[in-house]
């Protein structure tokens, strides 16, 4: 968090001071939510991390849920804009004839680049996203609200790339893609232990190199028309 603070330009004036305070609160909350989850963090924890009284947090945010939504929305805007542009650019460059792997790379690689190069804040945001995606009580609605347009744009390209594929198979394919992405962003460290250190949860470059190609092969498999059994001669 400290490195991100240094990178920000200094602000002056009342409005700038307010914006800086909100940034500090959101940075602190993002770090804590990523490490401890929504239910494991209090507004007092956030206040303690930045060295202020908890009433300051309440001045800017009505409650913890409001703060969590603000934290989640801040980077969602960035990743959505980047991925939507990448998908649109790819669709235009291929003149409406995308490949499955190309569409997946526009969607996945663009996002993975942020987590690879964006510093601790983006890695914390990724962990938060994994938590939200696996919280059915309210997380699904939050994911719908922020990410449906870019996901449906990907689905549109996949349909172009797989014109003979059943629509339900394309949606199931996306379901498997997003599950793998969320597990990656959670950085649980499990693959580190299973592989004896050969693979690292933090190695987004390794994920980027493999994930789109792996998932494209999966789409190709489930979208291959099934051969009907030859009727037995009577």
pLDDT tens per residue, range 160-218: 999 999 999 999 999 999 999 999 999 999 999 999 999 999 999 999 999 999 999 99
**In the predicted structure, residue 4 carries a pLDDT above the cut 60:** no
**In the predicted structure, residue 76 carries a pLDDT above the cut 50:** yes
Q: Which pTM does this prediction carry?
A: 0.86
| Range with lowest mean pLDDT among 9-18, 73-82, 123-132, 148-157 | 9-18
Neighbours of 58 (CB within 10 A): 13
Quote the pLDDT of residue 227: 53
Task: Pick the closest to residue 215 from 72, 109, 84 (CA basis).
Answer: 109
Residues 58-73, mean pLDDT to the nearest whole number: 95
Quote the pLDDT of residue 2: 45
Average pLDDT, the chain: 91
Residue position matching structure tokens 């507004």: 43
- The burial of 155, by beta-carbon neighbours within 10 Å (0-12 exposed, 13-18 middle, 19 or more buried), is given as middle
Per-residue DSSP letters for 72-108? HHHHHHHHHHHHHHHHHHHHHHTTT---HHHHHHHHH
CATH superfamily of 74-222: Tetracycline Repressor, domain 2 (1.10.357.10)
Residues 49-65, mean pLDDT to the nearest whole number: 93
Domain boundaries, the chain: 10-60, 74-222
**CATH number listed for the domain at residues 10-60:** 1.10.10.60
Residues 110-146: pLDDT tens digits? 999 999 999 999 999 999 999 999 998 899 999 999 9
- CB burial of 197-219 (b: ≥16 within 10 Å; e: otherwise) equals eeeebeebeebbeebbeebbeeb
Q: Could you give the CA distance from residue 126 to residue 25 in angstroms, rounded to a whole number? A: 18
Task: Pick the closest to residue 60 from 17, 22, 32 (CA basis).
Answer: 22
Helices 120-133 and 139-161 pack at an angle, to 10 degrees, of 90
Quote the pLDDT of residue 13: 81
**In the predicted structure, residue 16 carries a pLDDT above the cut 90:** no
- The burial of 221, by beta-carbon neighbours within 10 Å (0-12 exposed, 13-18 middle, 19 or more buried), is given as exposed
Q: Do residues 41 and 32 touch, judged by C-beta distance below 8 A?
A: yes
Enter the tokens of residue 175: 């379901």
């Amino acid at each position: 968090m400290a490195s991100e603070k240094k990178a920000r330009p200094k602000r002056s004036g009342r409005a700038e001071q307010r914006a800086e305070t909100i940034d500090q609160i959101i940075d602190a909350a993002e770090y804590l939510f990523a490490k401890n989850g929504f239910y494991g963090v209090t507004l007092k924890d956030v206040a303690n991390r930045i060295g202020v009284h908890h009433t300051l947090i309440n001045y800017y945010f009505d409650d913890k849920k409001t703060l969590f939504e603000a934290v989640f929305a801040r980077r969602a805007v960035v990743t959505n804009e980047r991925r939507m542009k990448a998908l649109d650019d790819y669709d235009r460059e291929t003149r409406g004839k995308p490949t499955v792997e190309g569409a997946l790379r526009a969607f996945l690689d663009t996002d993975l680049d942020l987590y690879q190069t964006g510093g601790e804040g983006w890695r914390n945001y990724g962990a938060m996203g994994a938590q939200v995606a696996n919280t059915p009580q309210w997380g699904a609605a939050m994911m719908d609200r922020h990410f449906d347009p870019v996901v449906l744009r990907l689905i549109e390209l996949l349909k172009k790339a797989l014109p003979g594929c059943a629509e339900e198979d394309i949606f199931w394919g996306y379901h498997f893609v997003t599950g793998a992405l969320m597990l990656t962003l959670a950085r649980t460290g499990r693959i580190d232990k299973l592989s004896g250190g050969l693979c690292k949860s933090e190695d987004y470059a390794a994920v980027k190199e493999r994930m789109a190609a792996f998932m494209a092969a999966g789409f190709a498999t489930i979208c291959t028309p099934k051969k009907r059994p030859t009727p037995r001669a009577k």
